Amino acid sequence: KQNQLLEQLNDELLQLANKDALTNLANRHYLQRFLKEKLQTPQHVTIFMLDIDSFKLYNDYYGHLQGDEVLVRVASILQQVALEHHLIAVRLGGEEFALFGFDLSNDAATHIAEIICTQVEAAKIPHEKSTASSFVTVSLGYVQLEQMTFVNFTNVLEMADQALYAAKNNGRNQFQQYTPELSVHV
């Protein structure tokens, strides 16, 4: 009986350690462990990184409880896209999210990025203070790495982050694919 209780507690602790409490998506800790395990052998990986446009302004205007609701709604959209396209959705922290997929063609990755941006805006969550739209939107950057083995988690995310910032600098509510030229300009 006691062993069964200990096993149940261990399972619950593992869930807590790997999931974001607010959105129920995987968290950064899970992502790091997953990528270290998954990318021991060379693979074609696509990493999408996104955040909610003008989210600080949203929180300042509508309040943090409404901000939390937006995070949950965006996470729900991302989880649905992840399920439909065999991706892993992760909340990195704050208003920043990531999705990871394997063996996606360039066309498929572009299509997924477009779906995410479109579906978030189509949710029609009012955002009066946004500079991009009258609704909540996201900016998204993604990188595709062919035959990648896991070297450095931070460097991999940095490439997707550079594409994300290019999308933001180009006006938000859009996506941008990483190219080596971005690291020079961003």
pLDDT at 130 over 90: yes
Token pair belonging to 57: 């302004």
pLDDT at 185 over 60: no
In single-letter form, the type of residue at position 127 comes to H
Catalytic status, residue 95 = yes
**Given pLDDT bands bounded at 50, 70 and 90, which one contains residue 180?**
confident
- Check residue 186 and give its pLDDT: 47
pLDDT at 164 over 60: yes
Count other Cβ atoms within 10 Å, centred on residue 35.
Answer: 19
For 42, 117, 129, 130, 173, the CA distances from 134, given in Å and listed in that order, are: 43, 14, 8, 6, 11
Backbone angles phi, psi at 131, to 5 degrees: -90, -5
pLDDT tens-digit series, residues 18-30: 899 899 999 988 8
Distance between CA atoms of residues 34 and 74, nearest Å: 23
For 4, 5, 97, 170, the CA distances from 173, given in Å and listed in that order, are: 49, 48, 15, 9
Q: Counting beta carbons within 10 angstroms of the beta carbon of residue 96, is it exposed (0 to 12), middle (13 to 18) or buried (19 or more)?
A: middle
**Given pLDDT bands bounded at 50, 70 and 90, which one contains residue 13?**
low
pLDDT tens-digit series, residues 51-105: 999 999 999 999 999 999 999 999 999 999 999 999 999 999 999 999 999 889 9
**Given pLDDT bands bounded at 50, 70 and 90, which one contains residue 41?**
low
26 Cβ contact partners less than 8 Å away, ≥ 6 residues apart: 18, 19, 20, 34, 88, 89, 90, 91
Q: Which DSSP string corresponds to 66-132?
A: HHHHHHHHHHHHHHHHHHHHT-EEEEEETTEEEEEEES--HHHHHHHHHHHHHHHHHT--B-TT-SS
Say which of 12, 69, 84, 95 is annotated catalytic.
Answer: 95
Q: What percent of the chain has pLDDT over 90?
A: 65
